[in-house]
């Protein structure tokens, strides 16, 4: 009677290890990308809340906030402190837009593509047409545009 070898051969183990290494090389960068995108979701959500409050303010008053006190009242309220956002600023003194909501990320939350602060912004402009809707644009500073929602990538 012949003895049969049990278990895996060295070639089979090496092949499996090589396949796992290739999968890891592809999967890890994608995983990191989605983790950063998920962290940015908190900032986008807070920016959306500020935009909603600014729309309501404009509907009630026919204008955007003009003072620091009026602008501070438009800051989004959260039950728990944000994990990845350091501050939200309503910039009513912008020279380029009617008003801008800026949501700053904490240092080191995601990869910085610049050298300064990282923030997303949502900027409002009133169309010159009578009774026209407010036009919002969004974008980012120091953040990879691919991490932004699609509606913000083209601006």
Mean pLDDT, all residues of the chain = 85
Give the pLDDT confidence score for residue 110 in this predicted structure.
87
Domains of the chain: 10-153 (3.30.700.10)
Burial pattern 91-125, b for ≥16 Cβ within 10 A else e, equals ebeeeebbbbbbbbbeeebbebeeeeebbbbbbbe
Question: Which one, of 70, 69, 87, lies nearest residue 78 by Cα?
Answer: 87
Contacts of 88 (CB under 8 A, 6+ apart): 46, 47, 50, 75, 76, 101, 102, 103, 104
Question: pLDDT tier at 155 (50, 70, 90 boundaries)?
Answer: low
Contacts of 30 (CB under 8 A, 6+ apart): none
Residue 105's DSSP bridge partners are: 85
Which two structure tokens, joined as six digits, stand for 31?
A: 């995983």
Most distant CA pair in the chain, distance: 97
- Residue-wise pLDDT tens digits, 56-80: 999 898 889 989 898 888 888 887 8
Question: Which one, of 40, 73, 46, 11, lies nearest residue 140 by Cα?
Answer: 40
What 3-state class would DSSP assign to 154?
Answer: coil
For 107-120, what is the mean pLDDT? 84
- Residue-wise pLDDT tens digits, 82-95: 899 999 999 988 88
Q: Above 80 in pLDDT, residue 9?
A: yes
Give the pLDDT confidence score for residue 25 in this predicted structure.
87
Q: Is residue 57 within 8 Å of 74, Cβ to Cβ?
A: yes
């Amino acid at each position: 009677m012949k003895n049969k070898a049990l278990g895996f051969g060295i070639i089979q183990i090496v092949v499996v290890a090589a396949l796992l290494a290739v999968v890891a090389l592809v999967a890890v960068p994608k995983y990191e990308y989605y983790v950063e995108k998920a962290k940015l979701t908190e900032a986008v959500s807070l920016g959306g809340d500020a935009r909603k409050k600014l729309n309501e303010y404009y509907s009630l008053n026919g204008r955007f906030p003009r003072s620091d006190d009026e602008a501070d009242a438009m800051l989004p309220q959260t039950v728990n402190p944000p994990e990845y956002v350091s501050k939200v600023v309503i910039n009513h003194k912008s020279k380029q837009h009617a008003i801008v909501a800026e949501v700053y990320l904490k240092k080191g939350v995601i990869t910085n593509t610049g050298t300064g602060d990282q923030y997303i912004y949502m900027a409002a402009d009133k169309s010159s047409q009578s009774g026209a809707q407010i036009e919002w644009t969004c974008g980012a500073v120091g953040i990879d545009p691919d991490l932004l929602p699609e509606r913000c990538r083209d601006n």
